[in-house]
Amino acid sequence: MREKEIKEEFELCIRSFIDAKERSEQKGLDEFDELRILEASFNRLFISVEHLCNALMLFEKGNFSKKHFGDFTKFKELKEKYKSDLASLYQRNYHLRSYGDYRKFSEVKPNFNKNELKRQVAETEQAIRNSLAELAKSTDISEFSKRMNNK
């Protein structure tokens, strides 16, 4: 097992998640400011999900695909174990982040708002907690559980 790399990925996952959650709770001064908050929050949230997926692929398979789309089948195999649909979570956050950063996936525009951000934050937090609970059965990751509980 590549414990050092797994822990590094979880560290990046949790740091990005906390940043996304804190940003998502900010109030903008105006519409322009609100849009910047959404863009930054969705970006950090995607980075969190990406690192979560990296950590789990390292733990389960020993490596991960740099583009992740090759890992979707593997994510689906892990859905029951981790009680999270990681493939869907990854894709939704990728589309929201891509819309925020590049205005790609215009079909996402109606969902590019605070309500969707809150929903994605909650779903990502649950996926992280589920993953930490499962990994705790075989790896000392108590430092990450503490960080999630103290955020």
Residue 11: exposed, middle, or buried by beta-carbon count in 10 A (0-12, 13-18, 19+)? middle
Read off the tokens for 150. 């103290």
Q: What's the pTM value of the predicted model, to 2 decimals?
A: 0.92
Judged against a pLDDT cut of 80, whether residue 151 lies above it is answered with: no
Encode pLDDT of 41-92 as tens digits.
Answer: 999 999 999 999 999 999 998 988 877 666 778 888 899 999 999 999 999 9
Read off the tokens for 68. 């992740």
Mean pLDDT (the chain) is 91
Contacts of 29 (CB under 8 A, 6+ apart): none
Judged against a pLDDT cut of 70, whether residue 138 lies above it is answered with: yes
The one-letter amino acid code at 23 reads R
The pLDDT assigned to 75 comes to 86
